[in-house]
Structure 1
């Protein structure tokens, strides 16, 4: 399994690094059966995150034809809407509009990223995964209508508003769409992706290596509908 993790301007570093390290370790544990790289719709380049100007390098062009899986992270920056700058900070010149998470996520729609993501979603041989606001990137691109997905708890209403079925779970498995909730869920998502691709023994070995225990139940649209608790 070859995985491309997407980088875009303003990405959240933990959304990228957590699944990257898990999948990279999975590649070692499987002697190369799993591989992972950082990719960008604009091709190889240095990409600035939304956290303190941290830079990661995309070493490849995003290409659903050569990847078995595309993983989309969320963004990091100011929480809320651009018009919600606290009064004492207004006009201080410290914050720019593009540092707000909704703006950073929305800006991805002006790039070639949605085109590549649609290609991936339309290909039955490619699995698309997302962490946190990455689900909102897919949703705003019109790619999650009638699909089950999760995102950061602050974005579940927005996810629902796009026509997706928002699920308040740490990881949601909707077949060829796998999504994770808040930023640290990237670890759980990565381990689950590894389990799906290489089996539970490999995933457990990596889990032990990182001294981390996965949290929560992976949600699937299976079994009886639960009664109200």
Structure 2
């Protein structure tokens, strides 16, 4: 559970702040699924968790990929203020194109974040003790391409696992992977599982269970951690 950057609400209770990052070309479900689960957890926990949509540039309307929709970032990503930072992946074409990666492809949109303030802010987030950085789908590739998770276990969409390995990260084919202050989730719908797991980590299993019942969604799979006995047989 996070231990720094906590604020007290009007009743004097400890409150956590989760910031969901939006960038041009983000995947809507990657952002909205954990946003709604975490927000529901905050309601269940009587205001113990606040959730906001942010961008690296500050308040603005942020277009998703594939012209699906736009969401309003209400604040700037602030690693010194947040306790949880969640980075979604991108929504784009799957075609690589004849001349390499297309700009409107998911990999192309993710690569464009490297030319924004986002990588620097994410480094600041990972460097801050007590803050948890989480990703959904291709969000881990933003960290990986910026050289921020070299040598660390992480997951992403199954189509991107080889790319994750190529960046120097340790690709794990699991629904959710935890490596201390880094929690990554695989495919688009895994944002639900990520949100519930973060609720359990930060606010406890009873709050997470209440949110699970509200959304009628049971978390899938084992959360992978680099602990315990290694399998003797590869399956």
- One fold, TM greater than 0.5? yes
C-alpha contact 1:72 1:129 (8 A) present in aligned 2: yes
Q: Which residue of 2 aligns with 1:222?
A: 227
**Among 87, 97, 100, the residue aligned to 2:105:** 100
- Count of equivalent residues: 219
Q: Which residue of 2 aligns with 1:126?
A: 131
C-alpha contact 1:80 1:102 (8 A) present in aligned 2: no
CA shift for structure 1 position 84: 7.3
Tell me the distance in 2 between the aligned counterparts of 1:206 and 1:84: 46
Unpaired runs of at least 5, structure 2: 1-15
CA shift for structure 1 position 53: 3.7
C-alpha contact 1:80 1:101 (8 A) present in aligned 2: no
Q: Which residue of 2 aligns with 1:112?
A: 117
C-alpha contact 1:13 1:51 (8 A) present in aligned 2: no
Unpaired runs of at least 5, structure 1: 86-95
Q: TM-score, normalised by structure 2?
A: 0.90
Describe the superposition over 1:206-228 as per-residue Cα deviations: whole angstroms up to 9, x where unpaired: 00001111100000001011011
1:82–1:121 Cα change, 3 Å: farther
C-alpha contact 1:82 1:100 (8 A) present in aligned 2: no
Q: TM-score, normalised by structure 1?
A: 0.93
Superposed CA RMSD in Å reads 1.4
Describe the superposition over 1:81-139 as per-residue Cα deviations: whole angstroms up to 9, x where unpaired: 23379xxxxxxxxxx94211111000000000000000001111211000000000000
Q: Which residue of 1 aligns with 2:29?
A: 14
**Among 13, 18, 34, the residue aligned to 1:3:** 18
Q: Which residue of 1 aligns with 2:218?
A: 213
